Copies of this chain bind each other. A is one copy, B any other.
Amino acid sequence: MASNARKRVVILGGGFGGVFTAKHLQRHAGSGVEIVLISRHNFFVFQPLLPEIAGGSINPGDGVTPLRRFLPGVAVMVAEIRELDLGAKTVHVTLGGEPGIRTVPYDQLVIALGQVVDLSRTPGLADRALVMKDVMDAFHIRNRVLGCLEDADATTEPRRRRSLLTFVVIGGGFTGVETIGEVQELVRKSLKYYPNIRPDEIRTILIQHGPRILPELPEHLATYAAEQLRRRGIEIRLNTGVEAATPAGIETGSGPPIDAETVVAAIGNAPAPLIRSLPLALEHGRIAVDRCLRVHGQDDVWALGDDAHIPLGEPNGDKVAYAPPLAQFAFREAKVLARNILAHLENRPLTAFEYRSLGTMAALGGRSGVADIMGVRISGFPAWVAWRLFYLSLLPGIATRLRVAADWLLDLVASRSIAEIRAAQSASRQVRCLAGDLVIEPGIDPGGVYVVTAGMFEVGAGPDAAADPDARAQPPRKVGPGGHFGMPLDGAATPTNEWVRAREDSTAYFIGKDDLQRLAMVSALVGRRADGAPMS
């Protein structure tokens, strides 16, 4: 597809690095360069605003910038990247609505995929924790927090209440700190609508592995931030690692387990699996590039942002600093990278990336923040205003800035919405039970089958047990992992007189009756194949 005359630059990823590389290329490249940007979404999401979406002060649709509007002249392709063939200079992608694989050739390739969340190092955490990677993740956290308030308002069982009203964020970096601040603010502002919940029942906990929060900031400001958060009732646990996630909550290295329905993991940034699969040298999980952002050993492949390990000077002994994964750096890297690609295509010399940070800042929720701007350290309300103005200035697109500003304004004048907006619950889902929970009551249709994945349940006979001495004599049957209870697997929906209770904290996978038929079909296939019968 790429002709000899026209050179095609393919950019992988619609985050800060990719979008601004495309923007600078589009501004400065002539008609001899075709720019293709491949992104999973057709919009750019400004990661630093995600905690505000989780806190409900920004609408999920308002904090994002449609790529096509911001990048006229750039061919935007919404696709999942499946494979990268550096030898053939092609990218294999799948389009959303299409079966099969599409092949996209390139002349120059820019890798700007950003990082993924990998929680596999902590047992149970990947299944249990909410993450903050995407705009729908953030919106989901907002809705889960409000859902916990709903459920707690209706529940009298003490341990379940405690679990529903405990909000844990793991990770004391920017994202974790801003998220716990926003979640606390959302809960605090919403509580007046939940008459059955006392403010002293709420616990918000920030868990940080290291000795202080916000290690990216000067200690002075991090201390101030920690004080601010503590004053608002947020517990900060320093030097604390999470050992495991359980049905009930989390277990830390120190102290008793914490029962918490809501666990947000703001940790575990890792290179995308695609990057790990490439025959490229990685340094600290990032692609090794030279100071001109060209990938080591490659002529036509470039990388920037979170994906790239970018030296900030000539190797000098072994003391060389590397660019931190911050938006302001990616913004500047994109400028240099776009210039270098054009220089490379025209056989001009490349430029080395150099940048000195303008400062760093963090929002803490509750109209407070901390900032270090060119050596001047500010905190409280001025820092919070500075944070908003700075990010508004970085946000691509006038319409997006207008929408975000309108949301902030509305949040100042109108009360924040407590509407818990969730998609229809899937008929099949993970169910977590606390010890003692009555999962199935006698005489009521369970609506599906429960397959136990952890813990232990007891199944017993119903109210007849009291009337019938023989029934009472029979002890309850135990069902552990791999076992099941609820509806018979053949789908007969008659309620029985059985009850089921969790003996310990447990999880089960619930399969609704509508899904059972589909499963039966697949099961039959699995069975047939095991029998050696033909597949078709």
**Chain A: residues with CB nearer than 8 A to chain B?**
41-43, 59-62, 64-66, 68-69, 76-79, 82-83, 92, 95-102, 134-136, 140, 146-148, 150-151, 153-155, 160, 164, 193-194, 261, 398-399, 402-403, 406, 410, 413-415, 417-425, 431, 433, 437-441, 444-445, 451, 459, 477-480, 482-485, 489, 502, 509, 511, 518-527, 529, 535-536
Contact = CB atoms under 8 A, between A and B. Distances in A.
Nearest to A41: B420
B525 A526 contact: no
A154 B523 contact: no
B134 A424 contact: yes
A477 B536 contact: yes
Contacts of A417: 43, 61-62, 64, 66, 399, 403
Contacts of A155: 95, 97-98
A253 to B, nearest CB: 28
14 contacts: A43-B421, A60-B61, A61-B419, A78-B150, A78-B154, A82-B444, A96-B150, A96-B151, A99-B439, A100-B438, A101-B444, A479-B536, A489-B529, A520-B526
A232 B279 CA distance: 54
Contacts of A523: 519, 522-523, 526-527
Contacts of A526: 489, 519-520, 523
Contacts of A439: 99-100
A403 B61 CA distance: 14
B97 A151 contact: yes
A62, A98, A99: residue with the most chain B Cβ atoms closer than 10 Å: A99
A399 B414 contact: yes
Contact of A66 (B92, B140, B419, B440): B419
B420 A42 contact: yes
A61 to B, nearest CB: 6
Given A41-B419, A95-B151, 13 more contacts: A42-B150, A62-B417, A64-B421, A68-B194, A69-B418, A82-B444, A95-B154, A95-B155, A99-B433, A99-B440, A406-B410, A482-B524, A519-B522
Contacts of A422: 136
A437 B194 CA distance: 53
Contacts of A441: 100-101
Contacts of A399: 414-415, 417
A424 B413 CA distance: 33
Contact of A146 (B42, B402, B440): B42
Contact of A444 (B83, B413, B451): B83
Nearest to A488: B529
A533 to B, nearest CB: 11
Nearest to A510: B99
Contacts of A140: 423
A521 B451 contact: yes
A41 B419 CA distance: 8
A482 B521 contact: yes
A-B residue pairs, 9 tightest by C-beta: A43-B419, A97-B151, A68-B193, A483-B536, A523-B523, A99-B439, A479-B536, A100-B438, A399-B414
A119 to B, nearest CB: 14
B418 A42 contact: yes
Contact of A147 (B97, B403, B484, B525): B97
Nearest to A64: B419
Contacts of A96: 147, 150-151, 425
Contacts of A92: 444
A423 B136 contact: yes
A60, A146, A523: residue with the most chain B Cβ atoms closer than 10 Å: A523
Contact of A451 (B153, B522, B527): B522
A441 B83 CA distance: 13
A445 B100 CA distance: 11
